[in-house]
Amino acid sequence: MALPISQTKASVLENLDAVRAMIRRHKRNDIVFATIGLLALMLGLLTLLTLFVNLVMDGYPRFNLQFLSDFPSRRAGSAGLLSAWVGSALIMIVTFLTAVPVGVAAGLYLEEYAPKNWFSDLIEINVSNLAGVPSIIYGLLALGLFVYGLDLGQSILTAGLTLGLLILPIVIVSTREAIRSIPVAIREAAYAVGATKWQVVSDHVVKYSQGGILTGVIIGMSRAIGETAPIITIGALTFIAFLPPSPISDVAPYLNFEWLSSSFTVLPIQMFNWLSRPDHAFHINAAATGAIIIVVTLLMNGTAIYLRYKIRKNIKW
């Protein structure tokens, strides 16, 4: 039954008001949520920023090249980070060389080759679980396995392997996620033209997932560089005023692996030591070290984002 025109108009107007009210309400909800979201974001960011600014202001007097080229000392003013940053860098090399091949291979296997059964599920659950295990547990494992079991001692190799184990789950998970993001059509197209499984994996899967894998690797590494607990557990030293033997030698084969068995210290441990000193001048050194660790971590994460962007841009499918 058709309503009289005047009545229809009234009801439409009434409805319109209701619709407008609804739109207003939803817009208000949007604003409220956006504000809450922004506040939540700021809470994290501002805390980090305050901390960082605080560290920079406290550590400002020590930001010079000498701080990076001096060995630790009992005099705060002439104490530097040389053995600590060299130690951290060498350990990162070992971590990279162990965690990346093993992690990427494991991720590829799980995603491309592993049969889908309860055993693979079990491995999958365990890998995700490992990513959440407290780092000190890795330290204890490494103390038993690497330091005493394999008799590698309190060396750079031990520390690098420990941190490699620590970031292995991160590398595996990010490898798998990167592989999963490749469209099925790419694989099917490759199979359609007669490629073998290995050709698909090596020519397409690995190639297109590089960006994601690299991001995961760098994020794992930036976690590793700040780790202190497992390194203390395996017995890092605090005062060490000499460098490990150089990895490059002037006689063939031009490479020298003695540095792997050298004792070491790392940035966070040096910072912790300075922080626990009674003398306030050391606290300035600690603040400067903290700022440097944050900058290194930010740089690494920034590189990860940049590389991902760059590699994605080159992928055309």
Partner 1 sequence: MNTMLTKSLRIAALVAATFSTSHVLAAEKIIKIDGSSTVYPISEAMAEEFQKATKTKVTVGESGTGSGFKKFCRGETDISDASRPIAQKEIDACKEAGIQFIELPIAFDALTVVVNSKNDWVKSLSVDELKNIWKPGSNVKNWKQVNAAYPDKAMPLFAPGTASGTFDYFTEAVNGKSKSSRTDFTPSEDDNVLVQGVAGNVGALSYFGMAYYEENKDKLRAIPISAKAGGPAVLPSAATVENGTYQPLSRPIFIYVNATAAAFKPEVKAFVNFYLEHAPKLVAEVKYVPLPADDYAAVKAHFKALKPGSGFGGKNEVGIKVKDLINRIK
Residue of 54, 202, 246, 249 interacting with partner 1 (CB under 8 A):
202
Dihedral sign from CA coordinates of 230, 231, 233, 234: positive
Single out the segment in contact with partner 1 by CB under 8 A; choices: 13-21, 37-45, 137-145, 147-155.
Answer: 147-155
Residues 6+ apart with CB under 8 A from 256: 245, 246, 247, 248, 249
Told to check if 262 binds partner 1 by CB under 8 A, we report yes
Bond from prior residue into 61 cis (ω within 30 degrees of 0): no
CB neighbourhood size of 116 (10 A): 8
Told to check if 119 binds partner 1 by CB under 8 A, we report no
CA dihedral defined by 272, 290, 80, 223, rounded to 10 degrees?
80
CB neighbourhood size of 298 (10 A): 13
* Among candidate residues 49, 36, 34, the one with its CA nearest the CA of residue 291: 49
Single out the segment in contact with partner 1 by CB under 8 A; choices: 19-27, 72-80, 128-136, 178-186.
Answer: 72-80
Told to check if 73 binds partner 1 by CB under 8 A, we report yes
Single out the segment in contact with partner 1 by CB under 8 A; choices: 14-22, 58-66, 99-107, 131-139.
Answer: 99-107
Considering only residues 172 to 201 of the shown chain, the ones binding partner 1 according to CB under 8 A are 198
Considering only residues 26 to 55 of the shown chain, the ones binding partner 1 according to CB under 8 A are none
Told to check if 242 binds partner 1 by CB under 8 A, we report yes
Total residues interacting with partner 1, rule: CB under 8 A:
38
The answer to whether 67 and 84 have CB atoms below 8 angstroms apart is: no
Q: What residues line the site for partner 1 (CB under 8 A)?
A: 72-74, 94, 97-98, 100-101, 104-105, 152-153, 155, 157, 198, 202, 232, 235-242, 257-258, 260-263, 273, 275-280
